[in-house]
């Protein structure tokens, strides 16, 4: 099983909008396009994304770039402060999926899947794309094949 985890592209700064409504900048859209190129030819079965606007935009750019027909699956368990253990519970019966989310969840989830609880988070830039692999989803035993930063 492979799992790809993508942090959203650069978003507009915190301001008058709620965090959940922040949108991608032009630079952020370019970052996501470069990240999507790494996914060309990968056997994706689904794209799951946080309901936050910048994650939705990121997922849609990837979907369009790849010509991926299935709709994006919007889930509330991929928001910034979600518990990595709760995310892992959702992934037990899936394979070859892309998760589009935010820090601190992205860094915490990558660390948790590789090492288990209690390890420092992985450092992931905006539009950073991580690839994890194992025969099955086992907490603390996923292999990080790498993180591509745009």
Q: What SS3 class is residue 37?
A: helix
Q: Is 70 exposed, middle or buried (0-12, 13-18, 19+ CB in 10 A)?
A: exposed
Confidence of residue 93 (pLDDT cuts 50, 70, 90): confident
Distance CA 93, CA 136 (A): 9
Instruction: Read off the pLDDT of residues 95-114 as tens digits, 9 standing for 90 and up.
Output: 999 999 999 999 999 999 99
Q: What is the pLDDT at residue 133?
A: 96
> What local confidence, expressed as pLDDT, does residue 17 receive?
87
Provide the number of structural domains found in the chain: 1
Q: Which residue has the tokens 């990558």?
A: 110
**CATH number of the domain where residue 103 is located:** 3.40.50.1240
Burial profile 134-149: b = 16 or more Cβ within 10 angstroms, e = fewer: eeebeeeebebeebbb
Q: 44 is in which domain, residue-wise?
A: 2-11+19-148
Which pLDDT value is given to residue 15? 84
Residue 94: which of 37, 56, 137 has the closest Cα? 137
What's the pLDDT score for residue 42?
94
pLDDT tens by residue, 7-47: 999 999 988 789 999 999 999 999 999 999 999 999 999 99
């Amino acid at each position: 099983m492979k799992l790809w985890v993508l942090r959203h592209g650069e978003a507009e700064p915190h301001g008058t909008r709620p965090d959940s409504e922040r949108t991608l900048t032009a630079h952020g859209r370019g970052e996501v396009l470069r990240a999507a190129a790494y996914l060309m030819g990968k056997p994706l079965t689904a794209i799951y994304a946080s309901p936050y606007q910048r994650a939705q935009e990121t997922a849609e750019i990837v979907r369009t770039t790849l010509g991926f027909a299935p709709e994006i699956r919007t889930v509330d368990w991929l928001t910034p402060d979600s518990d990595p253990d709760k995310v892992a519970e959702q992934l037990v019966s899936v394979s070859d999926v892309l998760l589009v989310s935010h820090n601190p969840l992205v860094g915490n989830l990558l660390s948790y899947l590789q090492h288990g609880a209690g390890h420092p988070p992985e450092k992931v830039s905006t539009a950073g794309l991580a690839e994890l692999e194992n025969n099955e989803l086992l907490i603390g035993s996923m292999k990080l094949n790498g993180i591509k930063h745009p």
